[in-house]
Chains A and B, each alone.
Chain A
Amino acid sequence: MVSKIVNLLFADIEENEETAALREEVLNNCQERYDDLIAQGRSEDEALDAVVESLHGMEEVLAPYRRQRAADGEEGTRLNADGIRKVRASLFSFSLDVRPSGDASLHAAVEGAGSERIHVEREGDTLVLREERTEHMTNVSFTIGDSIQETFASLKNFFGQVRREMSGGKITLLLPEGLCPDAELNAASGDIFWTGCSAEVLRVSTASGDVEAEEMRAAEVSVKTASGDVRLECGADRVTVESLSGDIEWRGSCQDLRVKTTSGDIEAEGSLKTAAVNSVSGDLSMDVENADAREITVRTTSGDVRIFVPDEAKVQFVPHTVVGDVSCSQVLSTDPTLVIRVNTVSGDIKVK
């Protein structure tokens, strides 16, 4: 089991002298840790927990050695790209990484434990990526015991199993040049990355998975997440992001930016025509790069709001706050072309 965990960690790592040595060293330390704990009478689950805990942060150490597995087509399935217009993904634990293939080909590569649960199919003009729920997942359950300790132990065991069964793999999808699909991607705990491919519409929703889209253009980008963080670097006519606790970052250009969050912080930077931001406790920091923006409307309860606009922007500033501080160092215009409305209860407002 210990070697399984370590193997998983090194699954897509380039094998060379250095990483082989690192792997053996890590494996030895983990194995000894595990054996020691078992010898001290701890349960298998507790021992594995300690091993997993000790490996925290290892991903980052290994990141420089990560193999670009799908990029060279290795182990990837080449698919017929003719007539594909849409991409749909419904995933649980698997992450999805979408990138350009660099030519006219379409590839999908699946890696990590549980890759047999991934189905890549074609339905008419739609490429469908689907993750089957594991049997274990449906069998795994926890019970509310007679004591808190009992319930807690059961819950811990449950999470342990879920973690082992669901320690997500990754799907790499390489799109052909020139394909500008309509994409709808859903994941539970898996992350979604979309890099370097244009899309007609990109709609993403996750529960806890992070969402990143970079170097891309789309008519519409729309992201919904509960606790995942969202990072978008894109040009789009319309960008819509909703989150509960996830932080939101947007850079690029768009006509209309709409952001809604409960406690996530928002960072926006770029050129835009109109923006509407709603948050409860999340802070907003917005850097508007173009002087011809028209309307920025912000509503927060306790979040602080900071908006920077170019000096030459002709601004009308309409702040409203119950107990927050308001400061504005931008010279206001008598002939405004940009209206900034900010409503807060206790959040501070700053415009510059």
Chain B
Amino acid sequence: MSLTADLLRGYTDAILLRLLTAGESYGYEMNQELARISGGRFELKEATLYTAFRRLEESGCITARWGDEKSGARRRYYALTPAGRERLAQEQRAWEETRELLDLLLLDGASFADDMEEDRVIW
């Protein structure tokens, strides 16, 4: 469980960047989207969200602007920059490699593949 949490934490920035590929958004909406995509299994704490946003802003991956809500606190909208898009592509490649490797190391992916071959022959 904690291993899963650690692994997910390492991809917080990438997860947020990926959400922003659908267009600009703000904290709560992004969290709702995360909950929806994950079937309620994943949501970020405000603290994690803000530290990630600041980090991404500083590294030029996203830009921020205030919404024009007439009453109450304004929304802070974030948008993806070309640098952010580039960074997301890198992270996605890194994850694919990690996943392939972990499949091999943890699930014995090689012999899985063999078994599936055999299955196919029998069928």
Contact = CB atoms under 8 A, between A and B. Distances in A.
Contact of B50 (A22, A28, A31): A22
A215 interface: no
Given A21-B76, A55-B47, 16 more contacts: A24-B74, A25-B26, A25-B75, A26-B46, A26-B50, A27-B73, A28-B26, A28-B73, A28-B74, A29-B31, A31-B72, A31-B73, A32-B28, A33-B31, A57-B47, A58-B46
A29 B26 CA distance: 8
Main secondary structure of the interface of B (DSSP, over half): helix
A1 interface: no
A36 B76 CA distance: 18
Interface in B28-43: 28-29, 31-32, 43
A55 B73 contact: no
A315 to B, nearest CB: 39
Interface of B: 26-29, 31-32, 43, 45-51, 69, 72-76
A56 B45 CA distance: 7
A25 B31 CA distance: 13
A58 B45 CA distance: 8
A30 interface: yes
A28 B45 contact: no
Interface string A133-159: 000000000000000000000000000
Interface of A: 21-22, 24-33, 36, 54-58, 60-61
Contact of A25 (B32, B43, B76): B76
Contact of B47 (A28, A30, A31, A60): A60
A55 B46 CA distance: 6
Contacts of B51: 61
Contact of B27 (A25, A57, A61): A25
Given A33-B28, A61-B51, A28 B46 contact: no
B44 to A, nearest CB: 9
| Interface-centre pick from B45, B47, B51 (highest chain A CB count, 10 A) | B47
B73 A24 contact: yes
A253 to B, nearest CB: 37
